[in-house]
Amino acid sequence: MKKFSLKTVKGFNEVLPPESFRWRVVEEKFRELLEGYGFAELRLALLEPTELFARSIGDETDIVEKEMYTFCDRSDRSLTLRPEGTASVVRAYNQYSLGKLNEINKLYYVGPMFRYERPQKGRFRQFHQLGAEVFGEAGFYQDAETLVMLAQFFHELEIKGVVLQLNSLGCENCRPAFRERLQAFLKQRLDALCGDCRRRLDENPLRALDCKNPQCREAVADAPLISESWCTDCREHFAGLRSLLEDVGLEYEVNPKLVRGLDYYTRTTFEFLAGELGAQNAVAAGGRYDRLVEELGGKPTPAFGFAIGFERLMLLVDAGIAPLPRPFAALIALDEEALRLLFPVHVNLNRGVRMTTLGFQQKSLKSQLKKADKDGVEFALIVGSEERARQEAVCRNMKTREQFNLPFVRLEEALRELYDECRRSS
């Protein structure tokens, strides 16, 4: 028979134990922090009508042009696996009229996103985001609070060396004039631009500012800066944000060429960069998008949000931040009757907390002790024919190698006492 092996689709990231445990701990910390700031979870659909992303992220972006997993379902509807969360949150905000329920809506989400990118370190085709969006706050206080919250998250995870870069992309009042200036500038350098930037020159000239192509980078080195075109409101918004960040001591760099790969942003945009990540160095990113709710059919509503790349975050989190849980004791049965005797002790002790392990295969004492050591348990409780004859189990302190006996009649009770004693002294 032909041997075949089934594997995941290329670039689809899965998380195996023990890493999955660490992911859960970090995710829990994220939830706690966000809920502390008044956010509530939204569990979103993974599949959306393709039009949602074309209209929000923008037709002429890498994501929509090249990276979406799009297909027709059996009714010939074009559907897309979500490449990001913001568009779906805005769709939900409008669909369920969330703006009518609360004046301010603070929502977070956790889950997989899909982009057909070239897989490499920190870049996958199925990856995960921890994201959040706030609706209804137009002022820079919201921008500042969200950035401080993110910085606090990195701090709590003991991640160092993350740099916050900030920019403002202006608004519908001042950006058109900037676009024209930039277009005029780029038209004089057409030969130096890559195919994508040339093609996007009319619809989306800002893309050229953060194109990764070295020739494009050189060509835009002395391009006009959006800050020179900001209207008074945009200037004040950015200055207000900067002074708030300075008040609370959150360091940042202004990067006037930070434009982001999605078209919905207005005013503040930002990225948290970690040098340790190499080429894919953005661990979190986001900004303000005051027009998107309306563009997707809702009432004009200001909004601000971010997404953290979960895989990239975990590359920065030290394993020590989430030590693996260890069972307290290994119950070691050396024969069938011992197994029979220890099984009820095992299940009773695991009610509530995971206290014991019990191997069912009655392997040799040596191999079971080796496994107990590997699991990092504090005690091993051994029962074989000799112990059964004496009606006492041998209890071994795995650290000190000291051994003592525990009578069968109070095995559970004695182990519980030992457990409580150890927890008190640790």
Which residues here bind ligand HAM, judged by CB under 6 A? 84-86, 115, 117, 122-124, 127, 129, 131, 133, 261-262, 282-287, 305-307, 309, 311-312
Spatial contact of 164 and 155, defined as CB atoms under 8 Å apart: no
Closest separation between CB of residue 189 and ligand HAM, Å?
27
Closest chain position to ligand HAM (CB): 309
The DSSP secondary-structure symbol of 320 reads G
Q: Which of 229, 225, 224 is nearest to 173 (CA)?
A: 229
For ligand HAM, the closer CB: 263 or 387: 263
Cis peptide before 256 (omega within 30 of 0): no
Alpha carbons within 13 A on the beta-carbon side of 79:
11
For ligand HAM, the closer CB: 310 or 328: 310
For ligand HAM, the closer CB: 82 or 396: 82
What three-state secondary structure class fits 400? coil
CA distance from start to end of the chain: 57
Closest separation between CB of residue 305 and ligand HAM, Å?
3
Closest separation between CB of residue 57 and ligand HAM, Å?
8
For ligand HAM, the closer CB: 208 or 284: 284
Residue 257 CA to residue 211 CA, distance in Å, equals 10
Structure tokens at 2: 């032909």
Structure tokens at 284: 């979190």
Q: What is the residue-wise DSSP string for 155-194?
A: HHTT---EEEEEEE---TTTHHHHHHHHHHHHHTTGGGS-
For ligand HAM, the closer CB: 126 or 229: 126
For ligand HAM, the closer CB: 87 or 216: 87
Closest separation between CB of residue 337 and ligand HAM, Å?
54
Letter for the amino acid at 135?
A: F
Closest separation between CB of residue 304 and ligand HAM, Å?
7
Closest separation between CB of residue 124 and ligand HAM, Å?
4
Closest separation between CB of residue 260 and ligand HAM, Å?
6
The gap from C-alpha 165 to its chain's centroid, in whole angstroms, comes to: 19
Helix, strand counts (H, E) of the chain: 16, 16
For ligand HAM, the closer CB: 30 or 419: 30
